[in-house]
Amino acid sequence: MARTPLDELRKRAQGALSLDVAFIGVVNGLFSALHDLGGAQVQGLAEKTGMDAGYLQRWCDAAYAFGWLERKGDAFLLSDDGAAMRPEAEDSTMALAIGAVLSAHMAERAAGLMRSGERPGEKVLAERETILPWFGAMLEHNFRRSFEEKVLPAVPIFAEINERQGLAVDLGCGNGWYLRALLGRCRSLRGLGLDGFDENIREAQRLAQREGLGDRLHFAQGDIHRFALPEPADLIAMNRALHHVWEARGSLLERLHGELRPGGALVIWEPSWPEDTAVLREPAYRTMAFQNLSEHIQGNHFLHPEEIAEALTAAGFAASIHRVGSDAVVVGRRP
């Protein structure tokens, strides 16, 4: 029997439910615990994780139903898909589960706010206590490989700054993934990450030590609006952040210009909002279209690379645009 449009929609809905079930396992460490135990009955999993056995029984049943777990008698074991959901797994898929639940939260908020037009700002990201601690890890899993394999080779400024053993600064560094990736490839660079949340700074420093970068990479309190550098920077990075402060771009870019050494560069990595919105139907742009709705809730919107370049030029930079898939890296060089 041929599949109908309703069959296809039901399939999509089950995919969303599957990621909802996976999200519960990720944030509560259930996939990792089952990996460590080599499989377990519900009571053993409860003792390992400190979770309620009643909830665990029902989660295990649901995770088995969607293929995240296998069963052997009364014991549950990870399937291959379940093993890949572990945050510590190589090529972990956990970001898909975190992103799915975050998207559902933002959709619910948009549905209600659409009536009033209210735009409550970035605080909406912190409204779900199970999501916020995973935000940095989600970004790392989503973007680190793309940065290492596509952005770094496409943008010559990174190699140039590395040759002169420069200082790279990341404003709003989160868990520090960008600088860890950059310094892992550019062995002569030094790095400083600034973030407004103490918990991000602690996590970033821990991960830097784990990756053997603690002697070249440090993190401190500060954000895009309030920061102090110990020395002029050779590179200042803003990753998917400029659209959050676009209304204040004039004064911000002027300040960043003054924080760079002559010949230094401001490197801005942003989603590239297309001039022709017909491309939003393409798979690479569909997620961006929904994210732009989420950005509206936060008081922001995605930008065209050309308008970023124009703003950099107005602030005294020599600007260049490097397109990487559906993203753009706009480099502003201080003369």
pLDDT in tens, 210-243: 999 999 999 999 888 888 899 999 999 999 999 9
Residue-level pLDDT at 170: 97
Q: What is the mean pLDDT of residues 278-302?
A: 95
Residue-level pLDDT at 1: 62
Place of tokens 């909802």: 20
Q: What fold characterizes domain 5-94?
A: Arc Repressor Mutant, subunit A (1.10.10)
Instruction: Decide: helix, strand or coil at residue 300.
Output: coil
Indicate if the pLDDT at residue 197 is higher than 90.
no
Residue-level pLDDT at 196: 86
Class of the 135-333 domain?
A: alpha beta
Q: What is the mean pLDDT of residues 260-282?
A: 96
Indicate if the pLDDT at residue 2 is higher than 80.
no
Q: What confidence tens digit (pLDDT) does each residue in 94-109 have?
A: 999 999 999 999 999 9
Q: Residue 179: name the closest of 234, 210, 219 by CA.
A: 219
Q: What is the mean pLDDT of residues 153-174?
A: 94
Q: Residue 101: name the closest of 57, 132, 63, 79 by CA.
A: 132
Residue-level pLDDT at 97: 98
Q: How far is CA 14 from CA 8, 32, 65, 71, 80, in A?
A: 10, 24, 11, 21, 19
pTM: predicted TM-score of the whole model, two decimal places: 0.91
Burial of residue 251 (CB within 10 Å: 0-12, 13-18, 19+) is exposed
Going through 196-253 in order, the beta strands assigned E by DSSP cover 217-221, 233-239
Would you place residue 60 in the very low, low, confident or very high pLDDT band (cuts 50, 70, 90)?
A: very high
Give the strand order in the sheet containing 233-239: 217-221, 190-195, 167-171, 233-239, 260-271, 327-333, 318-324
Q: What confidence tens digit (pLDDT) does each residue in 13-36 have?
A: 999 999 999 999 999 999 999 999
**pLDDT, averaged across the chain:** 95
